[in-house]
Amino acid sequence: MKKPNYISPGHFSTSFSDGVLRSKDFNDIYFSADNGVNESNHVYIEGNNLSQRLLNSQHFTISELGFGSGLNFLLTWKLFNKVNSGKRYLDYISIEGFPLNKSLIRKVHSKFPELSKYSNQLLNSLPPLWSGIHRIHLNDDKIRLTLIYEEVFEALKKSNFQSDAWFLDGFNPKTNKEMWDTKVLSEVFRLTKPSGTFSTFSSAGHVRRDLEKVGFNVKKIDGFGFKKEMTIGKKCGEKKSNISHMNCLVIGGGIAGASIAYSLKTRGVHPCIIEKENGFACGASGNLAAVQYPRLSTVNTPAGRLSLSCYRYSRNLARQLGVALEDKSIILGLPEREKIKQNKLLSQGWPEDLIRKLKEEDELEITNSKIGIDGIVHDFGGTIRPIEFVHKLISENVERILGNEIIEIIRSNNGWSVKLSNKDIIHTDILILACSEGLRKLKQTSIFNLQYTQGQITYLENKKLKNIPKANFSFSGYVTPPVENKITIGATFEKNTNKRDFISEEANQTNLNNIPDAISKRLFGSKKINLNNLDGRVSMRVSTFDRMPMMGQIDENLYILSALGARGMIMAPLLGDALASIILGQPSGLDQEVVKACDPNRVERSFLV
């Protein structure tokens, strides 16, 4: 048995014969050999009275210990659709330290043809077998499945959601003692809403006593099949009502604002976006191309976990929306410190479909020849079209106010008032700042000690190249495959400079000079690049001194998603989804260490008098 860690999930031996899936290590079955569907319905669906409770809830959260084959989730999904009128939402959070591979899950699901409608969608959406939190949207965004591939106690203690119902679905307490440890059950109780419930197939006396010890009211009821008894329970208290209606105003029409608007919209909230320009994606989100790859860490850190979760989420969303090129992301081992880090990562045993060593065939995708430079490859990564990404996230029926700057924001009795450059004043319940440069013009955010860095990218037409790259590759800069018959070369980092709107020949020269000589010669051959005629874009980035984004609440009903630096196309989609959940009091899909690391109130402030 291989136990889970931050580098890869756990793994144990299984067998599947005569319709029975068994764990060899725990010597236990995943579901009843007689009728797995009826067993799951009896123990978990009926045990938590879900038919009635889902019908009466606008938003409901179910949590599970042990995703297994996903059978419980499929049955919950089927029930949810049966009772849902189209205005209800479900969060389903499942912690699984030993996830099964997709081919085995497919074999198991073939035994339940009545669930094929749901099974096929789930199988198409399952994440790679990478450690961490995986956020998946299903059922026209009415269901958010959060899979946490991590050791159960570690996952629970870093969590901060509140669940309406629990499926305690670990293997037999005699063989899987860790899953039923009191410290695990204490975390389950902490993460349960008042009036929340649990159910489990187990009727073991020590399990019932431990559940009572941590705070649940516990009782035995009839079990399923040959199992005479099972256990259910409840946490005392009254459930608070869900927030149902609110006005949300989003400031900023780049990738951050678009991601928040998209995520609010999928939750039934209709935001309004204010953008100072006359269109969306006019700032740093307006480049022809951008690259997506993770920044993995050699030790377990909130920054590393966030990067990996954001990477998988943003790549899936870009593909789903049709804005991703079919390439890969190559990171060259330059400079030397990058090579040292890459060698350490390669030696740690990360999944190969996440990170692998650069091969000769990968080199050919850069310049159609060998380059003689070491590096790593992210096959799941690739190039995207940012402008199209932003526009597809913002649906046509999202309200918008374009061509107006924010002059001032003022707290009002029921939220915030926003003064615009055209003298209009807009009132809103919730105000979300998703701008970058504009932060220093507002009283509430100008006090944050942030770094503003200007960056220029360079465009080169295909006809100016001897060899056209088929994959994006990064060094101290990056080069992308062509979009609209132009490759993108980026990007400068110009600190403490006056803002400029023109394309600088010097900055273009810097971008070209950053390309390693061995690659530059093969890309351009003997062609001389005329700097006078080069196209490009210049925009301003904002970042914090610890390089973590700002995501969360600044003040009552005032939120922010900003300081994404050069990583907006990776970070914004998942962080926008998380912020929408936080605003609505729903599970964020992030562990609380990550949320704390992104808290805007951690950033040093310069109070002016």
Which candidate, 143, 65, 78, 139, places its Cα nearest to that of 112?
A: 78
| Surface-to-core class of residue 530, CB atoms within 10 Å of its CB (0-12 exposed, 13-18 middle, 19+ buried) | exposed
Check residue 244 and give its pLDDT: 55
The bridge status of strand 20-23 relative to strand 28-29 is antiparallel
370 shares its domain with 517? yes
> What single string gives the DSSP state of each residue in 346-364?
HHTT--TTT-EE--HHHHH
User: What's the rounded mean pLDDT across residues 109-126?
Assistant: 96
In a domain, 539, yes or no: yes
In a domain? residue 110: yes
pLDDT at 12: 86
Does one domain contain both 399 and 532? no
Q: Are residues 427 and 473 in the same domain?
A: no
Question: Per residue in 329-355, pLDDT tens?
Answer: 999 999 999 999 999 999 999 999 999
User: Region 504-526: what's the mean pLDDT?
Assistant: 93
Is the domain of 262 the same as that of 342? no
**Cα(534)–Cα(521) distance, integer angstroms:** 18
Q: Which helix (H) or strand (E) holds 542?
A: strand 535-543
Which residues constitute the domain of residue 484? 329-380+451-543
How many CB atoms sit inside 10 A of residue 424's CB? 10
User: Is residue 389 within 8 Å of residue 318, measured between CB atoms?
Assistant: yes
Q: What is the average pLDDT across 437-447?
A: 94
Question: What DSSP character marks residue 504?
Answer: P
Confidence band, pLDDT 50/70/90 cuts, at residue 242: low
Tell me if 170 is assigned to some domain.
yes
* CATH value at residue 354: 3.30.9.10
Q: Which of 134, 121, 251 is nearest to 574 (CA)?
A: 134
609 in a domain, yes or no?
A: no
Q: Are residues 360 and 493 in the same domain?
A: yes
Question: Which of these three, 518, 543, 568, is where a domain ends?
Answer: 543
Number of folded domains in the chain? 3
Predicted confidence at residue 472, as pLDDT, reads: 98
Q: Does residue 22 sit in the same domain as residue 168?
A: yes
3-state secondary structure of 389: helix
C-alpha to C-alpha distances, 541 to 80, 251, 284, 451, 504, nearest whole angstrom = 43, 16, 7, 8, 17
Say if residue 54 is in the same domain as residue 168.
yes
- Read off the CATH number of the domain in which 583 is found: 3.50.50.60
| pLDDT > 70: percent of the chain | 98
pLDDT grade for 30, boundaries at 50, 70 and 90: confident
> CA angle 317-483-328, nearest 5°?
55
**pLDDT on residue 36:** 85
Q: Alpha-carbon distance 85 to 51, whole Å?
A: 13
**Is 565 a residue whose pLDDT tops 60?**
yes
Given phi > 0 = left and psi -120 to 50 = alpha, else beta, which region is 252?
Answer: left
Q: Is the pLDDT of residue 261 over 90?
A: yes
Q: What is the mean predicted confidence (pLDDT) over 414-422?
A: 95
Phi, psi of 524 (to 5 degrees): -105, -20
- The answer to whether residue 313 sits within a structural domain is no
Task: Answer yes or no: do 214 and 65 share one domain.
Answer: yes
What pLDDT does residue 607 have? Answer: 60
Q: How does residue 120 score in pLDDT terms, banded at 50, 70 and 90?
A: very high
Q: Tell me: do 126 and 257 sit in the same domain.
A: no
Does some domain include residue 374? yes
Q: What is the DSSP letter of 41?
A: I
- Residue 538 shares a structural domain with residue 555: no
**E strand residue ranges, 150-228:** 163-168, 192-200, 217-222
Tens of pLDDT, residues 377-408:
999 999 999 999 999 999 888 999 999 999 99
Burial of 283 by CB count in 10 Å (0-12 exposed, 13-18 middle, 19+ buried)? buried
Convert the pLDDT of each residue in 91-114 to its tens digit.
999 999 999 999 999 999 999 999
Tokens of 497: 């400079």
Residues of the chain above pLDDT 90, percent: 86
Q: How far apart are CA 56 and CA 85, in angstroms?
A: 11
Phi and psi at residue 350, to the nearest 5°: -65, 155
Question: CB-based contacts of 399: which residues, under 8 Å, 6+ apart?
Answer: 270, 271, 272, 273
**Same domain (yes/no): 119, 65:** yes
225 has a pLDDT exceeding 90: no
What is the average pLDDT score of the chain?
A: 94
* 48-65 pLDDT per residue, tens: 999 999 999 999 999 999
Of 17-21, 446-450, 558-562, least confident by mean pLDDT is 17-21
Residues 162 and 21 in one domain: yes
- The answer, yes or no, to whether residue 243 has pLDDT greater than 70, is no
pLDDT value, residue 24? 82
| Per-residue model confidence (pLDDT) at position 173 | 85
Average pLDDT over residues 414-433: 96
Judge whether 52 lies within some domain: yes
Q: Which residue has the tokens 């094929």?
A: 116
Where does the pLDDT of residue 609 fall: very low under 50, low under 70, confident under 90, or very high at 90 and above? Answer: very low
Least confident range from 124-133, 174-183, 472-481: namely 174-183
> Domain for residue 172, yes or no?
yes
> What pLDDT sits at residue 58?
93
- The DSSP annotation for 407-426 comes to EEEEEETTEEEEEETTS-EE
